Amino acid sequence: MITLTQLEYIVAVDTYRHFGKAAESCFITQPTLSMQIKKLEEDLEIIIFDRSKQPLIPTDVGQRIIEQARVVLKQSEELTNIVKDHKNQVSGMLRIGIIPTLAPYLLPIFIGRYKKKYPNIFIKVVEQTTDQIVNLLNKDLIDVGILVTPLGEQKIIEKPLFYEEMLIYVNPESELYKKKEITLKDIAIPEIWLLSDGHCFRDQVINLCSFLGTVDSQLPFHFEAGSLETLMNIVDREGGITLIPELAKLGMSEKRQENVRSFSNLKPLREVSLVYSRHFAKHKLINLLWREIKDAIPEELQNEQRGTVVEWK
């Protein structure tokens, strides 16, 4: 007879591709985990994992069983949530992944209030790139992501939150600082500083400019930053321009806000959403999180019609 515990064990091994790490994540010894998986394989008369490969991988039939196991575990969790909903309980763990270009600006305006309102929800937040968040969602290592959409992932549900404008941050000595109107053509220049590869905001900037190639020939040194704050500090000291999302402006000093410009011929937007697996079991927690973020965001940022959404994929 297959047990939920056995299903948890094979999912853990598939996630970590290592018996020792899987056992550690399940808070059991490796021999116990190995014995239970071996028993499951014997009962089903199949091999779930190819142990000759390093790291180990599922067999073809094993992969199908693991995929169904993830669904079954989610559905079993949903049974618990149905009971909690019936008793009007708001509790449990919520693991959130958020991209670096949102974390420093979005988290402070909602996370504290969310935790105070729902003290029985244990919140764990990790900061990762979009690709890493999608990977963690597929492996059930986080429950929900906050990132830029659309993704176009079949196994991921997107729940839009708001639409923030893409703005220009300009050094006062730049020619663009003096211009009353700035167009897309104006920013396709070598003096633009970009985030490093892996950041969706970098891809949006490149899509917006519709240019690829050497963008650093007139910069004092080659540098690709991992954070927007670093880019703005570089622009302040070394010159040039960079693009920033609208939320980054909200907490800025008045002096820095003087360096921010909007496009005159277009209002480019990035769509920010909650994303989660199609088998997500914590519907109540995610709806409460969605509502809390919406309440914290200025109403004008929730209007999709105020500009044009720029895709990044």
Please report, for the chain, the start and end positions of each structural domain, with discontinuous segments joined by +: 4-85, 90-162+270-309, 164-266
> How are beta strands 156-170 and 260-261 bridged, if at all?
antiparallel
Q: Which one, of 74, 39, 46, 71, lies nearest residue 60 by Cα?
A: 46
Instruction: Select 90-162+270-309's CATH number: 3.40.1410.10, 3.40.50.850, 3.60.21.10, 3.40.190.10.
Output: 3.40.190.10
Q: How far apart are CA 203 and CA 142, in angstroms?
A: 24
- For residue 158, which of 24, 294, 278 has the smallest C-alpha distance? 278
Residues of the chain with pLDDT under 70: 85-90, 196-199, 202-226, 279-281, 313
Q: Are strands 121-127 and 92-98 parallel, antiparallel or unpaired?
A: parallel
Following CA atoms 30, 35, 41, 45 in sequence, which dihedral angle do they give, to the nearest 10 degrees? 160
Nearest residue to 240 via CA among 186, 309, 310: 186
CB 261 within 8 A of CB 302: no
Residue 247, pLDDT score: 93
Which residue in 182, 165, 164, 166 sits closest to 174, CA to CA?
182
pTM of the predicted protein model: 0.73
pLDDT digits (tens, 9 = 90+) for 141-193: 899 999 999 988 888 999 999 999 989 999 998 888 888 788 888 887 777 77
Identify whether the C-beta of residue 76 lies closer than 8 Å to the C-beta of residue 4.
Answer: yes
Give, as one character, the DSSP assignment of residue 302.
Answer: G
Q: What are the residues whose beta carbons fall under 8 Å from the beta carbon of 82, sequence distance 6 or more?
A: none
CB atoms closer than 10 angstroms to residue 24: 15
The residues pairing with 58 across neighbouring beta strands, listed in sequence order, are 49
Q: % helix / strand / coil in the chain, to the nearest 5?
A: 45, 20, 35
Q: Which CATH architecture has domain 164-266?
A: 3-Layer(aba) Sandwich (3.40)
Q: Which residue has the tokens 């937040």?
A: 125
Instruction: Express each pLDDT in 213-222 by its tens digit.
Output: 434 444 444 4
Tokens 């094993």 found at: 62
Indicate if 90-162+270-309 has the same CATH topology as 4-85.
Answer: no
- At the topology level, CATH places domain 4-85 in Arc Repressor Mutant, subunit A (1.10.10)
Rounded-to-integer distance, Cα 186 and Cα 189, Å? 7
Kind plus residue range of the DSSP H or E element containing 21: helix 19-26
Q: Which CA distances in Å does 283 have to 74, 134, 184, 278? A: 11, 18, 41, 11
